[in-house]
Chains A and B, each alone.
Chain A
Amino acid sequence: MTPYAWTWAAIVAAGLLAWLTKIAGHTVPERVVQNPRMHRIAAFVTVALLISLAAVQTFTTDGSLVIDARLAAIIVAAVLLWRRAPFLVVVAAAAAVAAGLRALGWG
């Protein structure tokens, strides 16, 4: 197979596995869903995943730790979240801060 065909195979496989993962959660037996331990684990895993996605997205580039304009952007986002700004405003402000700093030649 050509690299192009391999990429297509990977896309279909990733899509199928993504859907099977999602549907697995919706079809686990009620007995497991009602288990308080499963509830706690699901809740804390969600927190751990989302915060680590934010951290990796903000402080790493191609497998290296990096401090750049994204640091200022995430600080502004955190302050806005603390001030209960709408989600859309937080995301747009972070983009504007990073874009602005980079336009000035920093980060």
Chain B
Amino acid sequence: MSSLPILSIIIFLPLVGVALLSLINSTTANGERNLKQTALWVVCLNFIVSIAMLINFDQSDPNFQFTESYFWLNSGISYHLGVDGISILLIILTTFLMPFCILASFESIKVSLKEYLIAFLILETLMIGVFCSLDLVLFYLFFEGGLIPMFLIIGIWGGERRVYATFKFFLFTLAGSVFMLLAIIAIYMETGTTNITYLLQFDLAPSLQYIFWLAFFASFAVKIPMWPVHTWLPDAHVEAPTAGSVILAGVLLKMAGYGFIRFSLGIFPIASSYFAPFIFTLSIIAIIYASLVALVQTDMKKLIAYSSVAHMGFVTLGIFTFTLQGIEGAIIQMLSHGIISAALFLCVGVVYDRIHTREIDRYGGLVNRMPLYAFAFMIFIMGSIGLPGTSGFVGEFLVLLSIFSVNTYFAVFATSGVVLAAAYSLWLYRKVIFGSLIKDDLQDILDLSYREIIILFPLAFLTIFFGFYPQPLIDIIEPSTIQLITNIANDVAIAEPASYEPVIKMESEY
């Protein structure tokens, strides 16, 4: 497989789809159907190609695989791609969610369908590029480029306050990211290259690491998002169309989590361990604060958005424990949140398409008319709570385990977040699904259509499957993670040989 540039194929296949879509005349009788099917086929094909990559992926090799390197800007800044155990599953998550996004938009998008599909395909290219890039400048290119299609998706096909939301989204993210750009340039000046494989081995001076770490942190903290710069997320989620929310929660937030693992931990290990308590504090605040705010929401999407902030708090907690369980837990939490929050937004989309409101008070007693929907919704709510037997449990448990081994106080606060998650999730479920069906416009609401069943049930299956059997994920993640934390441990030990205590624990079994 080494001869075939499979990563480039996965990245640029959606752009081929864009070219095809722009050739289709949407005004003809079958135009809309052709557009939808072309887009769907392209993203499905891309998913199949990415699965082929996963099959050929050597799980025992912790290094980057399927690497490609071409001359780009100069000898230090090249077009360099590759995946390892940390990034490959996030690529699969992206290609996996895209067909659902396209499917979910079939009925709900009434205007400018063609442009909508093109924007999504461009977004897919840019998102996959983020996870594949092994060059900082290339990474930045994909990371920031994603703003353009997302800006248009929220702004054109969004809700009533879409202009406000999309400007907030764009400017918040841009303001965070520009500091990363300066840091990237400074790294280039310092080392003469932006090649990530090289930088992972390179020991930057600690004083520089602190500055660069903060610059990267500014970008990732906005994107993931951490308290107190999370305020764009609820707005963007509420106003975005369903598929936009799915991608936002499912993939875009993961880009920052991935960035923390790959860059903050990998390139600036000393700064990361220095700032870890700071991250813990922010994460704990995020978990508790966002959960409490979620409790008082009246809008379904806003509630799920705040729950995303809380769940991402667990991800950052896990990442900065520097333990194997912590980082593995964070990655599994990201994957699981990618599936579950995407599914929850799709669930909201299902009822929104029917009643055109997201007000929780406007619903009630849906179980009487929509048993299938109630069932699917329940699975995802349970996953969101982190109930044992769902994938949400695996990630949260591993993270809590690792944070407990690092600091008991943080663990206590973090665990209280799980209880709060149960409170707001169950409250949402009770208000929407249970009770008596008294609202007039809900009397003849229809249960899931075949299309919606095709969308929701694979996600439900995966939620439960990985809840019981997460081993396949761990097998893929583990070798690269072990290599990462070994590197960190070495770097930190070199930096502070006298006072070095084994804060960073190596445990391959638990």
The answer to whether A and B assemble together is: no
A residues bordering B, Cβ < 8 Å?
none
